[in-house]
Amino acid sequence: MKSVICLLGAAAIVSATERTIVTFDGAKATTFNWYTSDDPVMGGSSKSAWQLENNRGSWAGQVKIVSFLGAPGFCSVGSYGYNGDWSSVGVDGSAVVHLRINPRNKGMPNAQTLTHFALQFHSSKAGGYKKGEFACPMTIDLKAPWGVSKAIKIPFSSCSQSWRGQPEGGPPTIEQLASINRIRFSTGAFSKGKETGYAGHFDLELERVDIVSAANSKNIVELAAGTKDLSTLVAALKAGKLVSALEGPGPFTVFAPSNEAFAKLPEATLKSLLDPKNIKQLDAILEYHVVAGAAVYSKDLKSEQEVKTLEGQKLTVRKSLDGVTINGKSKVTTADVGASNGVVHIIDTVLIPPSVSAVSKNIVELAAGTKDLSTLVAALKAGKLVSALEGPGPFTVFAPSNEAFAKLPEATLKSLLDPKNIKQLDAILEYHVVAGAAVYSKDLKSEQEVKTLEGQKLTVRKSLDGVTINGKSKVTTADVGASNGVVHIIDTVLIPQSHSGCIIRVPKTLQPQYAFEFAALDKNQNDFLDPSEFKNIGVKLANRFDSYRSWGGRRLRGSWSQLLRHKLKEKRDAMRAAKVFRKFDENHSHYISLCEFENSMYHEKLEDDKYNHDAVVVVHDH
């Protein structure tokens, strides 16, 4: 994200009414020394430890019952040498503590159990007899993900003057905020200055403390929730489970579609997006509106820049005298709405990433509108699968392009589209469909097997060279979103091994030879052959076998007599193959699979052996 910040010519912008006051990264102006102070000073046995780790302040310990009091003690950690003026954010401002629960002990007896803490600070402008100690309640949600940063907002209005757990007054005044000279964190719950202790373990990692004005004290989610014209966006954020992410420390830049922007979408599309089964599509769209790592205000924009979104793809942002536009279509209607964890720009059109640009169409409509999928559409209609793929899904479809179907022998394609072969066609089409999930390329591991609607599995591999299916078909266009799933366009038709119910019934010693001969003829490497192409070229088949063996570096070495016997064997097999192809062309009128080829070749061998007893035969073309 550094490239995004540099591209815009500015780091994350912090307004004059938002300031970081404490960090743990060594920065001179915001890094201080810290010390622990626990209840042994009053006869208890609570104990905590403090250390700096990975630019965070790690504070962990256990609060125990003080025996002579019969009540919990306390643990605290405070700063040395802090002096600051917080008056710029006003009495209605807030402190924002960025921290996370350390996950190292999760599930163990010493895992964190405490939820009640306090941010405390001292003002030298206490007034009268008061000590100037303020305590502000800070609650930590143990149900939130551990090890994930969270911003906890603490309004100054919730703070009270407190001394040794007893109230001394109300929230700080502007004069008191102008003279802060100590910051401390402590265990226990504070309400109007009165402390209630709790026993238990804690293990926190403090990241930074900010102070923000009332205008900037809301995080992005709170800001959106309080803006009437962003109610649809808030509903989408909740449906897409992105609320927690945008409540995090950020900083973020969010291009927030107004209610009117969402109203431009077809009603069915919006309803589909908010359906829980389409959460991946919704998340992709919402993440396409978020830039992480920078709070970018309009004054920092150049005339044109590209910014990478949380979804992974880029937005083109242009600034002119007419205002700011995103991707040339969506216009910023309200800019620079500051939040505690970033900035929001309200826009008039929902941004749709290319990966889900067809989200308003179901898979069949998408295919029908894609010129390069016209053969697939014809096959779907012939196979009576249109209704199924118009259903709610979700589906993942590996869609062969017209070029993929063109690799099939013309007679084979014609045969598949013949109504009498509908079962074969359905099996092949269903072998391209995964039901129950819309799987995008970003969700893939390096290798996985997925069960198809046909019943068999596909092997899907992902590498730097792209995505392949069964090691032969390559994804040429990935992540074409639809309202009921996702389509990946592929360059080779996938053929299930058992579409004809074929079982190889050939001795294992002969299978490698037949598989080799099949491979020699399978020029497209798509696991099937057109019988009509080979039925009348017996000697030429033998030559092709021999050529394939030579090209592959497989030519046999040996005596002249051994080579002659091998040549004669190849010619015998070639004539058997021609006979096999001729019978298939006459009787079946469809392509032949490896399984069918091997079984038929073995059958012809058995027939020949009955009469020739493996004698030398004279080979003629038919």
What domains are defined for the chain? Answer: 18-212 (2.60.120.430), 220-353 (2.30.180.10), 363-490 (2.30.180.10), 511-612 (no CATH)
Low-confidence stretches of the chain (pLDDT beneath 70): 1-18, 41-42, 127-130, 165, 193, 215-217, 266, 268, 355-360, 497-502, 522-591, 611-622
pTM above 0.75, yes or no: no
Residue-averaged pLDDT of the chain: 80
Would you state the pLDDT for residue 165? Answer: 65
pLDDT at res. 92: 85
Reduce the DSSP state of residue 143 to 3 states and report it: coil
Cα end-to-end span (Å), the chain: 70
Q: List CB contacts of 43: < 8 A, sequence separation 6 or more.
A: 66, 67, 68
What is 91-103 written as a DSSP string?
TT-EEEEEEEE-G
Contact 303/181 with Cβ under 8 angstroms?
no
pLDDT at 17: 54
User: What gap in Å lies between CA 200 and CA 237, rounded to an integer?
Assistant: 35
pLDDT for residue 532: 53
Instruction: State the pLDDT at residue 562.
Output: 52
pLDDT at 560: 46
56-63 and 47-53 strand pairing: antiparallel
Q: CA dihedral defined by 323, 326, 329, 330, rounded to 10 degrees?
A: -70
Q: How far apart are CA 434 and CA 436, in angstroms?
A: 7
Whole-angstrom distance, CA of residue 358 vs CA of residue 477: 13
Sequence-distant (6+) residues with CB within 8 A of 70 are none
Residue 196, token pair as written in the block: 């209630």
Burial (0-12, 13-18, 19+ Cβ within 10 Å), 586:
exposed
C-beta neighbour count of 6 within 10 angstroms = 11
Residue for token pair 């590996």? 398
Segment (H or E) for 136: strand 133-139
d(CA 281, CA 436) in angstroms, rounded, equals 14
pLDDT reported for residue 52: 93
Phi, psi of 507 (to 5 degrees): -55, 140
